[in-house]
Amino acid sequence: LLALLLPLCTPWCYKNYLTLPSEVAKMDISPDNAYMAIVSINSPNGVLVYDLANYNLLLNYSVSGSTITSAKFTNDGIYLGVGYKTGSSSGSVNLLSGRPPFTSTVIRTLVAAGNVVDIDFNRLNTKLLVC
């Protein structure tokens, strides 16, 4: 009986783990649960995007001279928003591709009125909240 039940339990069993190269400040999972974006707080400060099926590193993104503070997938998974601060009271949000192939190519930059601590998108992806 246990041999028959084992295949039913397999999807919920522990399969593997991911060793991260540095401390994690924030993380976000893509809407399809296929990718994970991690904001690394150690040197180098940046965003790491991993494939959750096999834990391959797909993107290592950083902004020269800036501190990345947040990363968030849009609700449709098309974009990955990366918030960062560039000085004592200024910041911006870069929109990157949220789907493979992940690249460091910035699709659009949105300039914030002050430091960017966190970001989020509304349900329809028509508005960006910057804290």
- Alpha carbon distance 29, 72 (integer Å): 8
pLDDT band, very low/low/confident/very high, at 3 (cuts 50, 70, 90) = low
- Alpha carbon distance 110, 125 (integer Å): 15
pLDDT in tens, 32-85: 999 999 998 776 689 999 999 888 999 999 998 888 999 999 999 999 999 999
- pLDDT at residue 12 is higher than 90: no
Strand-by-strand arrangement of the 24-29 sheet: 24-29, 35-40, 46-51, 57-61
pTM of whole model > 0.95? no
pLDDT in tens, 105-115: 999 999 988 88
Which contiguous run of DSSP H or E holds residue 39? strand 35-40
Please tell me the predicted confidence (pLDDT) of residue 87: 75
- Alpha carbon distance 99, 49 (integer Å): 10
